[in-house]
Structure 1
Amino acid sequence: MGLLAFLKTQFVLHLLVGFVFVVSGLVINFVQLCTLALWPVSKQLYRRLNCRLAYSLWSQLVMLLEWWSCTECTLFTDQATVERFGKEHAVIILNHNFEIDFLCGWTMCERFGVLGSSKVLAKKELLYVPLIGWTWYFLEIVFCKRKWEEDRDTVVEGLRRLSDYPEYMWFLLYCEGTRFTETKHRVSMEVAAAKGLPVLKYHLLPRTKGFTTAVKCLRGTVAAVYDVTLNFRGNKNPSLLGILYGKKYEADMCVRRFPLEDIPLDEKEAAQWLHKLYQEKDALQEIYNQKGMFPGEQFKPARRPWTLLNFLSWATILLSPLFSFVLGVFASGSPLLILTFLGFVGAASFGVRRLIGVTEIEKGSSYGNQEFKKKE
């Protein structure tokens, strides 16, 4: 193990990275709060500023993937599709099998200039997660309780507000509704069999309401749907903790572009279109498992330096006073002050670990274990 690889495994460095992310995030959230005063004056200026503020936070996580772990991301698609990336509003459909699937999506957003303006249909619980949920609130992210009777009006209103968004946005949908587990898959396929739908091997049965509503509300704004099927070479199952420890992964993403006008206007027909899409995604995963790659031409978009420069800037601003403070604490010789500081370090460590825990599969929600049994 080289020196750099060894340093990446050290808990102290993880704490420092977490410190920079948390404190910079709180600063960014405070600035976002102040920008609310701009909304009545210029809604579009408010949005542009918040896109850049969000970029400054999210790009720190992308930096961990691109520069800390040096994970590589390869696209399997065609040249015409690549040329449209970052130049149109789009709905992104991504399979939800891995702890860092969102991070792989974000790195593609970053490389094509839409990270700050990326959107997602998120579960309501995330709104209350410090930094993540707070930042999303200022970005006009659409939150839902995953109970359609209660969510319908909120989702429709939130989506329609985005019709005049000034920056190109990618709106991410996890149509499966929850992350894949064997238990959820078994329950999901029982529902598929009961409804006469083909059994999926690598995906959960897609929940169509969010997709059909998004397509309906964003029609005229969004130009296309990008279907993204993600997998990792070597049958790896990466985690955010693995990224933090500097483990390198190789992500492959098969991207297919569907013009929005090709998706049926009728809700039932659009739902059938989505079910067919997931059957195709399942076939793509089968090809990947057999051949170790997706069909299509390979593209490796170059990582950009901005994520690294952004993190180094925040680290320079925040770590210098931290080091001075720590030296002052230990130089004081006060047992009470030192113990208080160590207690703070322990609390900070716990907080960072809880934030990471949001992404972990084994700590994911139970949504899907029983909800698939309910009629959409």
Structure 2
Amino acid sequence: MPIIGWMWYFLEIVFCKRKWDEDRKTVMQKLLNLRDYPENFWFLIHCEGTRFTEQKHQISMQVAEAKGLPKLKYHLLPRTKGFAVTVQCLRNVVSAVYDSTLNFRNNENPTLLGVLNGKKYHADLYVSDRPPNGDTSSSQKFLTFWVAPDAFQEVYYRTGAYPGVPIVPPRRPWTLLNWLFWALLLLYPLFKLLINMINSGSSLTLASFAFVIVMASVGVRWMIGVTEINKGSTYGNNDNKQKRK
């Protein structure tokens, strides 16, 4: 996808076809490249492999029942192959492994479009650490980790807070200053161009500029709309599996 796909590419996100025979080589190559990466880095992996929907959850729990695995109320069964390969490739390289569970208060349902419109969301994050070089690569061992976050989620829905003493990080002004610096630096040429157009007094020029801005806004909103859950991947649905057969 234009712009979003390019952004993901430059962020070095690993692209998968969701066919493990083909993805294994790609994933391992990308991970091995990180072993001698000169800077500190975060590697984020979403082990469920797809976003949560009621239909996918029902199918996932049917699989759990068939395999004798613990049933989860708020999560899908994790895809263990990707995590196992990650542990294998980055063993003795990463300094920590964090298991994170994110919730939004008051049943807020955040969207990129809401963020673009300036809507505020309030998030709570539960983080627990795992031994980076421990025996976490086995599927059974990894699946046991998934039971605890499900229990934390139950507590959060009942009480509105995670168990334990909450930690509120202090506000960091440097983040805001850094954003303001780059915003001013990058937007200055655009504002200068706009002022020159207004001073030119050309109706055609102003109309053309307004048309470009409107089309850019519509395009961005359309691309954001594509990322909504109800328009997202069918990966994990029975219908999708039947189509692949």
Q: What TM-score, normalized to structure 2?
A: 0.87
2:196 paired with 1:325: no
Q: Which amino acid aligns with 1:186?
A: Q
Measure, in 1, the Cα distance between the counterparts of 2:207 and 2:181: 30
CA positional deviation for 1:135 = 4.3
Residues 300-339 of structure 1 correspond to what in structure 2 (within 5 A)?
A: 300-339=168-207
Correspondence 1:217-228 to 2 at 5 A: 217-228=89-100
Per the alignment, residue 198 of structure 1 pairs with 70
Q: How does 1:294-373 map to 2 (within 5 A)?
A: 294-357=162-225, 359-370=227-238
Secondary structure of 1:172's partner?
coil
Q: Name the residue aligned to 1:240.
A: 112
Q: State the number of aligned residues.
A: 242
Could you list the runs of 4 or more consecutive aligned residues of structure 1 that deviate by over 4 angstroms after TM superposition?
371-374
Structural mapping, 1:72-91, within 5 Å:
none
Code of the aligned partner of 1:284: F
| SS of 1:284 mapped into structure 2 | helix
- Give CA deviations for 1:112-165 in whole Å, capped at 9, x if unaligned: xxxxxxxxxxxxxxxx441x4434434543222121111011111111111112
Specify whether residues 320 and 189 from structure 1 end up closer, same or farther in structure 2 by C-alpha distance, changes over 3 A only.
same
Q: Give 1 or 2 for the bigger CA radius of gyration.
A: 2
CA distance in 1, matches of 2:186, 2:134: 50
Taking the aligned partners of 2:118 and 2:8, their CA distance within structure 1 comes to: 27
Consecutive unaligned residues in structure 1, runs of 5 or more: 1-127
Question: C-alpha displacement at 1:237, in angstroms?
Answer: 1.8
Q: CA deviation at 1:232?
A: 1.8
Which AA in structure 2 matches 1:143? Answer: F
Matching residue of 2:28: 156
Tell me which amino acid in the other structure corresponds to 2:235. Y
Alignment of 1:21-100 (within 5 A): none
Q: Distance in 1 between matches of 2:171 and 2:150?
A: 29
The SS at the match of 1:201 is: coil
What SS does structure 2 have at the residue aligned with 1:143?
coil
| Pairing 1:109-128 to 2, within 5 Å after superposition | 128=1
Q: Which amino acid aligns with 1:324?
A: K
Report sequence identity in percent.
57
**CA distance in 1: counterparts of 2:214 and 2:119, whole angstroms:** 25
The equivalent residue for 2:45 is: 173
Q: In the alignment, does 2:96 pair up with 1:207?
A: no
TM-score by length of 1: 0.59
- Shift in CA distance, 158/359, structure 1 to aligned 2, threshold 3 Å: same
- Equivalent AA in structure 1 for residue 86 of structure 2: A
In the TM superposition, residue 217 of structure 1 has moved relative to its aligned partner by 0.8
Q: Contact 1:224–1:258 (CA<8 Å) still a contact in 2?
A: yes
Q: 1:355 to 1:304 in 2, by over 3 A?
A: farther
Q: Structure 1 residues 181, 328: CA separation in 2 closer, same or farther (over 3 Å shift)?
A: same
Structure 2 unpaired stretches of 5+: none
CA distance in 2, matches of 1:159, 1:238: 31
Return the offset for 1:271.
Answer: 1.0
